[in-house]
């Protein structure tokens, strides 16, 4: 699988693998294929550092760590280095115990669970015991999983295609699997269900309280006129608050909170966990809300950055009292043990209003029925005056489409109405050292968009404006822990940065224009052969999108759409 990026071939390999997989290990195989041991939302990290892995290889091979580092430098991949080293060794030893999926999985689990002072030594023992019994190729993959560098290029959709073919005989059934995945965020569980109960089991799959539901996302529109054209005669508009999206699962007194990227973020919001169950007039519910920082004296909404204070590890309590929030509810997905995903928006809104009691802390997001462009203009202006980013437009008779970006919801932001003017969320892949006031810091960052087809990060611009001194310091602190010795293979950039980072951090950028570029790799060859797309006059908006994964960054498809949109706008202007 590592040697191909063709989706059909990958699917074929997976089908063959699944057809030969016993039911009781299918979920484990599905997690391991993605370099995980449990679904993301459980937050189980293997957390093995390169240094520790090198020590384990040294213990298993009898070679010094120096020798192993040398080999690592030559190949640029520790897994591959281990294969080469262990190949020389296996000729002289014999295997003690077979390497089975169960054993690898259980051992990885034990490693992830270890904590405390002796944990490093214990981890090393576990790793080297696996390496002792593994073939050199197995060792390479075990190490890649441990280090988080496994890149088989199998996106969730490819895995679902293969599961559908292997267990139901038809790729057409992928849709049902996708639904199960969208409501559980657990591909292992979906695999287990289709393997043991077939397509019927998947179709009956239900929401599980405390398993996050993948969020519904919105398409963007640029003007009130375009919004009316797309939404029809009557629709709902809500304030688009500039905070953090939270999915709140409540069962009696217990509450758990998930972020937009489905991370369990309960620990950052102890106030929500304590207060919300008291405002909910039903036993088992899943609600969606925007948590927004407020000025306690005036009740005014404050910008998103204010929520950053809650991300500090040890001072949460202080942050909670110093930076108060309100929780602004906009949807209900589960009510009294039943899914509401298929209920139409206007009914869900009524249920929401009945279920959540409003007070100083819990609010219903302001909503208005819109029947004309005037109504919309008016509502947009009010929303911006109260500190919001714009409005969300929602079709009245449509269900909640978990995990999909579609046209049942549209977003209209103020900034869309000028220049390019949409903001992009881009991944920081590299940096150039600063001069003058920025000496010793990263003065300019190299940014990338996400290419979904190849699962890579393609360079799109350098950015050096929009950074205050405070931001420069903060970014330096965050980024210096992400520096890599070699450029990560998922980065596609011809430009050579002074330092390369693990592609993880996402920041928000505005720009005046998208242009064709001979150097940058975003959307290469898509508009013109030999050219990519680049941002002109990019500027950091001050938003670090810590709630987004790199894979949630703006995609090349979105960049192409923006490029085409601006062309169309220029054309329309010329006609006027």
Considering only residues 214, 260, 348, 521, which one is a binding residue for ligand ATP as defined by CB under 6 A? 260
Kindly state the smallest distance separating residue 312's Cβ from ligand ATP, in Å: 21
Q: How far apart, in whole angstroms, are the C-alpha atoms of residue 154 and residue 187?
A: 13
Binding to ligand ATP by residue 238, rule CB under 6 A?
Answer: yes
Beta strands at 390-394 and 235-240: parallel, antiparallel or unpaired: antiparallel
Binding to ligand ATP by residue 218, rule CB under 6 A?
Answer: yes
**DSSP notation for 228-296:** HHHH-S-EEEEEE-SSEEEEEEEETTEEEEE-TT--B-GGG-HHHHHHHHHHB-SSEEEEEEEEEEB-T
Alpha-helical regions (H) of 445-554: 469-480
Catalytic residue, candidates 240, 487, 521, 548: 240
Q: Is 322 helix (H, G, I), strand (E, B) or coil?
A: helix
Binding to ligand ATP by residue 511, rule CB under 6 A?
Answer: no
Handedness of CA 507, 511, 516, 517 (dihedral sign): negative
Binding to ligand ATP by residue 348, rule CB under 6 A?
Answer: no
Q: Measured between alpha carbons, how far is residue 63 from residues 48, 58, 67 in Å?
A: 20, 5, 6
Q: Are 93 and 20 in contact (CB under 8 A)?
A: no
Binding to ligand ATP by residue 245, rule CB under 6 A?
Answer: yes
Query: For the chain, first and last CA: distance in Å?
Result: 53
Residue showing tokens 């991300």: 311
- Window of 235-243, 278-286, 369-377, 533-541 that interacts with ligand ATP by CB under 6 A: 235-243
Considering only residues 365, 395, 428, 463, which one is a binding residue for ligand ATP as defined by CB under 6 A? 365
Kindly state the smallest distance separating residue 407's Cβ from ligand ATP, in Å: 12
Beta strands at 244-251 and 284-293: parallel, antiparallel or unpaired: antiparallel
Nearer to ligand ATP, 178 or 425 (CB): 425
Q: How far apart, in whole angstroms, are the C-alpha atoms of residue 182 and residue 190?
A: 10
Nearer to ligand ATP, 352 or 524 (CB): 352
**CA within 13 Å, CB half, 182:** 20
Binding to ligand ATP by residue 352, rule CB under 6 A?
Answer: no
> Closest Cα partner for 150 from 395, 455, 366, 445?
455
Number of residues that bind ligand ATP (CB under 6 A): 14
The site map against ligand ATP for 39-78 (x = CB under 6 A) is ----------------------------------------
- Annotation says 28 is catalytic: no
The site map against ligand ATP for 267-306 (x = CB under 6 A) is -----------------------x----------------
Phi/psi class of residue 35: alpha, beta or left (left: φ > 0; alpha: ψ in -120 to 50)?
left
- Window of 8-16, 96-104, 237-245, 519-527 that interacts with ligand ATP by CB under 6 A: 237-245
Binding to ligand ATP by residue 404, rule CB under 6 A?
Answer: no
Considering only residues 208, 217, 396, 516, which one is a binding residue for ligand ATP as defined by CB under 6 A? 217
Helix (H) or strand (E) holding 447: strand 442-451
Nearer to ligand ATP, 80 or 328 (CB): 328
Kindly state the smallest distance separating residue 13's Cβ from ligand ATP, in Å: 32
Nearer to ligand ATP, 250 or 289 (CB): 289
- Window of 16-24, 138-146, 232-240, 481-489 that interacts with ligand ATP by CB under 6 A: 232-240
Considering only residues 171, 411, 438, 539, which one is a binding residue for ligand ATP as defined by CB under 6 A? 411
Nearer to ligand ATP, 147 or 509 (CB): 509
Kindly state the smallest distance separating residue 115's Cβ from ligand ATP, in Å: 33
Considering only residues 248, 370, 392, 497, which one is a binding residue for ligand ATP as defined by CB under 6 A? 392
Rounded to the nearest 5 degrees, what angle is found at the Cα of 79, between the Cα atoms of 75 and 83?
Answer: 85
Distance of CA 183 to the CA centre of its chain: 16
Considering only residues 31, 330, 334, 335, which one is a binding residue for ligand ATP as defined by CB under 6 A? 330
Nearer to ligand ATP, 29 or 216 (CB): 216
Considering only residues 55, 144, 179, 240, which one is a binding residue for ligand ATP as defined by CB under 6 A? 240
Nearer to ligand ATP, 78 or 237 (CB): 237
Among all residues, whose Cβ is closest to ligand ATP? 245
Binding to ligand ATP by residue 349, rule CB under 6 A?
Answer: no
Beta strands at 483-484 and 499-501: parallel, antiparallel or unpaired: antiparallel
User: How would you label 291-322 residue by residue, b for 16+ Cβ within 10 Å and e otherwise?
Assistant: bbbbeeeeeebbebebbbbbeeeeebeebbee
Rg over alpha carbons for the chain, rounded to the nearest Å, is: 25
Kindly state the smallest distance separating residue 435's Cβ from ligand ATP, in Å: 32
Q: What is the 3-state secondary structure (H, E, C) of 120-148?
A: HHHHHHHHHHHHHHCCHHHHHHHHHHHHC
Binding to ligand ATP by residue 422, rule CB under 6 A?
Answer: no
Token reading at 483: 């520096």
- Window of 75-83, 240-248, 250-258, 344-352 that interacts with ligand ATP by CB under 6 A: 240-248
Site for ligand ATP, rule CB under 6 A: 217-218, 238-241, 245, 260, 290, 330, 365, 392, 411, 425
Active site residues: 240
């Amino acid at each position: 699988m590592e040697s191909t990026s063709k989706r059909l071939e990958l699917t074929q390999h997976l089908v063959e693998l699944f057809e030969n997989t016993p039911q009781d290990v299918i979920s484990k195989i599905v997690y391991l294929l993605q370099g995980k041991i449990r679904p993301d939302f459980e937050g189980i990290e293997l957390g093995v550092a390169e240094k520790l892995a090198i020590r384990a290889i040294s213990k298993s091979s009898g070679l010094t760590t120096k020798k192993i580092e040398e080999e690592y430098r030559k190949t640029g991949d520790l897994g591959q280095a281990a294969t080469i080293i262990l190949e020389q060794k296996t000729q002289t030893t014999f295997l003690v115990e077979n390497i089975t999926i169960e054993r690898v999985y259980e051992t990885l689990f034990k490693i992830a669970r270890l904590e405390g002072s002796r944990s490093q030594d214990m981890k090393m023992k576990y790793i080297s015991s696996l390496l002792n019994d593994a073939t050199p190729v197995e060792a390479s993959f075990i190490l890649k999983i441990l280090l988080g560098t496994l890149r088989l290029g199998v996106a969730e959709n490819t895995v679902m295609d293969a599961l559908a073919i292997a267990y139901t005989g038809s790729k057409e059934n992928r849709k049902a699997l996708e639904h199960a995945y969208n409501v559980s965020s657990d591909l292992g569980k979906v695999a287990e269900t289709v393997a043991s109960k077939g397509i019927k089991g998947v179709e009956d799959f239900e929401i599980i309280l405390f398993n996050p539901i993948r969020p519904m996302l919105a398409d963007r529109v640029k003007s009130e006129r375009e919004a009316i054209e797309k939404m029809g005669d009557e629709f709902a508009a809500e304030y688009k608050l500039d905070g953090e999206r939270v999915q709140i699962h409540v069962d009696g007194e217990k509450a758990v909170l998930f972020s937009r990227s489905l991370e369990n973020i309960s620990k950052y919001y102890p106030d929500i966990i304590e207060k919300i169950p008291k405002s909910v007039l039903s036993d088992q519910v899943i609600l969606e809300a925007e948590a927004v920082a407020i000025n306690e004296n005036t009740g005014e909404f404050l910008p998103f950055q204010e929520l950053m204070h809650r991300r500090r590890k040890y001072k949460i309590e202080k942050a909670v009292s110093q930076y108060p929030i309100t929780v602004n509810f906009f949807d209900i997905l589960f009510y009294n043990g039943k899914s509401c995903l298929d209920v139409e928006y206007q009914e869900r809104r009524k249920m929401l209003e009945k279920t959540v009691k409003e007070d100083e802390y819990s609010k219903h997001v302001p909503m208005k029925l819109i029947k004309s462009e005037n109504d919309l203009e008016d509502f947009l202006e009010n929303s911006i005056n109260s500190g919001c980013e714009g409005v969300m437009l929602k079709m009245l008779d449509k269900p909640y489409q978990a995990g999909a970006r579609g046209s049942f919801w549209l977003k209209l932001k103020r900034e869309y109405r000028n220049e390019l003017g949409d903001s992009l969320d881009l991944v920081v892949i590299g940096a150039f050292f600063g001069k003058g006031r920025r000496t010793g810091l990263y003065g300019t960052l190299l940014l990338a968009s996400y290419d979904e087809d190849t699962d890579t990060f393609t360079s799109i611009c350098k950015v050096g404006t929009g950074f205050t001194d405070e931001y420069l310091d903060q970014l330096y602190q965050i980024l210096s822990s992400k520096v890599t010795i070699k450029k990560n293979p998922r980065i596609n950039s011809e430009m050579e940065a002074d330092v390369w980072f693990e592609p993880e951090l996402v920041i928000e950028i505005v720009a005046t224009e998208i242009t064709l570029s001979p150097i940058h790799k975003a959307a290469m060859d898509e508009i013109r052969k030999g050219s990519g797309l680049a941002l002109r006059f990019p500027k950091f908006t001050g938003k670090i999108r810590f709630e987004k994964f790199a894979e949630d960054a703006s995609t090349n498809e979105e960049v192409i759409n923006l490029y085409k949109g601006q062309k169309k706008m220029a054309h329309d202007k010329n006609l006027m």
